[in-house]
Amino acid sequence: PVRRATPEEVAAVPPLPVSLRSEVLHEDEGLLVLNKPAGVAVHGGSGIRLGVIEQLRQDRPDARFLELVHRLDRDTSGLLLVAKKRAVLVALHELLRHNRMEKSYLALVQGQFPQARQRVNLPLHKYMTASGERRVAIQAEGKPSETLFTRLQTWPEATLLEARLLTGRTHQIRVHLAHLGFPIAGDDKYGNYDWNHQLTRLGFKRMFLHAARLSFVHPLDQRPLVFEAPLPLPLAQILTRLAKSGLGEESLAPPRRVRQKQE
C-alpha cells in the first residue's frame, strides 16, 4: 500500500532555500541550469534527507517532470543540469553518451603540473569500503575514463587546471589527479591530508573543484547553449592569496606520495 505523508510531515519539510532559488541561471520549457553551491547534495540518501532534486520538486509541486541530467559531488560547486521533460532527459543523456556535451571544471592541485596539456585515460572501478563509504580506484578491469587537463596558472606550491570530462565516471577528476600525484586542494577522500590540514588553518574549508562551463545543443530547438559559473568567493580568495604571497613555506615542497584520509 502507498503511504501518504501526514500534514504535519509535509509541513516539517523545509522549503527550497532562497540561496538555491537565486542560483537558477537559465530556465526554459525543457530544462533548467543551476549553479549548485558546495556542500549541497544533488539528491537525498546516505543520511541526507533532501538533495537539490527533492527540494526542486517540493518547491514546484505542479511540475510534471524534474530529473537530474547528471550529478555533481556534494563538495563540488557549479553547473548542474535538470530536465523538465522526459524526452529532453533522454536526448541530453544521448549527448553525454556520445561526448557531445562539453563539461569543464576548474581544480586547484598541489604541486607544479608539468604538462601544458595532458590527456589521461585510466580505467576506474567503484567499490565500497568496510565502513560503507563509496570509493573509486584505478583498476585495469574498470570502466574506460578519460579526462583532458589544461594548465591555466602555476605557483610554487600549486597549479590551477581546467579539467574537461571526456567520460563521466564517479570521482573521475579527483581520482585521475590523485593518481598522477597532484591531489585537489581540500579533497578529503583522495587528497593529501597534511596539505588539506594546512589549508584548513588558512581558512580554506572546502574542495577546490568547480563545474565552470557547460555547452551543448538544446534538444528542443537545436540552439547552441553555453553556460558559465563564476568561481565562488572562497575559491577566488585562495587564488588571490596564492598570487600575492603563496600559502606558506610548509607547502612549497609537496610530497610526491599522496597521504590519503584513513578508512
User: Which ranges in the chain belong to alpha helices (H)?
Assistant: 7-12, 18-21, 52-59, 86-97, 172-180, 193-201, 233-244
Residues 6+ apart with CB under 8 A from 249: none
d(CA 209, CA 54): 23
**How big is the chain by its Cα radius of gyration, in Å?**
19
Task: Tell me the residue type at 218.
Answer: H
Q: How far apart are the first and last CA of the chain?
A: 40
Q: What number of residues does the chain have? A: 263
Taken in order 36, 41, 43, 48, is the CA torsion positive or negative?
A: negative
In the set 28, 73, 188, 194, the catalytic residue is 73
Instruction: Clarify whether 187 is annotated catalytic.
Output: no
Q: Whole-angstrom Cα distance, residue 214 to residue 105?
A: 9
Residue 99 gets the label, from left (phi > 0), alpha (psi -120 to 50) or beta, of: left
Whether the Cβ atoms of residue 112 and residue 224 lie closer than 8 Å to each other? no
Supply the residues annotated as catalytic: 73
